[in-house]
């Protein structure tokens, strides 16, 4: 039986750092106010010249190097993003060209903050089917482009970045189970409700969020999908070494760990210095812990995300 396994990780954050104190200079907010409500101290913001595919390229190169895989050996590229370079072509196709390769399928997945989990489950299915042997799975965002920087309730939360993994086919189980869900009836509580029509912007081009409703929904479904995924794999939370959840804010992470009965030391938290990087947050957090030596070969990792749509899902994997 063919399985897929994560054989390399990579991450990239733009050089520019914006701290809470930086934001407090132009908004009615403070470092203490932001930290207390979100756990965030700083976030990275892309330069105007940097696109989603640029950030994805840097993360992908690092993941490929860690895996010992050449870009030309890839059979599949799946890129999760809500902030593509263009309406089309896909950012995955642009990334493919920047990697200097051609021929293999490349496409975007749009599931907002659940995007990487959706993309990982998709690539895993392709490899399990025998269609492909090596896949590059990326989450990349420039959320700073869709924020109203005068709205302190949203702009303090988000940052830009990219994370990537290389999946390879093998005989040993790597990804044990994945579960994906969506419920479009909740679309109004987290959305960018705008579009382009005839060269004009219709609706709002900025992210809008009903924070308290998002919090309640996120904590509930992250708990449910984690349990559902563990059950599908025939395991329990006690079998998990690390929970790498979407880094939305510290309060959601804390509440999720408590509902699952997970010791806080097994919950990965990077939101303090990354902010919410949407589809990039899970692979960024994973790569940071792998490179720091915290997550090692043989560790079992539960990755999960929840985002606008609403979408949510989880993947359980042994590295």
Exactly one of 20, 44, 93, 113 is catalytic; name it.
113
* 93 flagged as catalytic: no
Rounded CA separation 131/11 (Å) = 27
CB atoms within 10 A of CB 247: 29
Rounded CA separation 155/266 (Å) = 29
Exactly one of 246, 249, 274, 289 is catalytic; name it.
246
Q: Which residue has the tokens 């959706």?
A: 118
3-state secondary structure of 78: strand
Exactly one of 155, 176, 276, 289 is catalytic; name it.
276
Backbone angles phi, psi at 234, to 5 degrees: 70, 35
Assess whether the previous peptide bond of 89 is cis (omega < 30° from 0): yes
Supply angle C-alpha 223, 111, 301, rounded to 5: 45
* 197 flagged as catalytic: no
Helices (H), the chain: 20-24, 31-38, 52-67, 91-98, 115-129, 211-232, 250-260, 271-274, 281-291
* 246 flagged as catalytic: yes
**Type and span of the H or E element at 75:** none
Residues labelled as active-site residues: 113, 246, 276
């Amino acid at each position: 039986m063919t399985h897929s396994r994560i054989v390399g990780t990579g991450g990239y954050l733009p050089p520019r750092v914006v701290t809470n104190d930086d934001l407090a200079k132009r908004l009615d907010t403070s470092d203490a106010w932001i930290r207390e409500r979100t756990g965030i101290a700083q976030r990275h913001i892309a330069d105007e010249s940097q696109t989603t595919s640029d950030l994805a390229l840097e993360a992908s190169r690092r993941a490929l190097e860690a895996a010992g895989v050449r870009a030309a050996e890839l059979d599949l590229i799946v890129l999760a993003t809500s902030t593509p370079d263009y309406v089309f072509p896909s950012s995955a196709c642009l990334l493919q060209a920047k990697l200097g390769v051609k021929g293999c399928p490349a496409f975007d997945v749009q599931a907002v903050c659940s995007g990487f989990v959706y993309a990982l489950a998709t690539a895993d299915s392709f490899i399990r089917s025998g269609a492909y042997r090596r896949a590059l799975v990326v989450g990349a965002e420039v959320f700073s482009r869709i924020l109203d920087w005068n709205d302190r309730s949203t702009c303090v939360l988000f940052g830009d970045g990219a994370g990537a993994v290389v999946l390879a086919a093998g005989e040993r189980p790597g990804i044990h189970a994945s579960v994906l869900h969506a419920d479009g009836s909740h679309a109004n509580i987290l959305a960018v409700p705008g579009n382009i029509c005839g060269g004009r912007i219709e609706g709002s081009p900025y992210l809008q969020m009903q924070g308290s409703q998002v919090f309640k929904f996120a904590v509930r479904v992250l708990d449910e999908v984690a349990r559902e995924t563990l059950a599908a794999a025939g395991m329990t939370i006690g079998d998990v070494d690390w929970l790498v959840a979407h880094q939305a804010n510290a309060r959601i992470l804390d509440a999720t760990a408590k509902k699952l009965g997970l010791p806080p030391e097994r919950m990965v938290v990077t939101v303090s210095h990354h902010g919410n990087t949407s589809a990039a947050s899970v692979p960024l957090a994973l790569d940071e812990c792998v490179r720091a030596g915290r997550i090692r070969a043989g560790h079992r990792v539960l990755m999960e995300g929840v985002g606008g749509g609403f979408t949510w899902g989880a993947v359980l994997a042994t590295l």
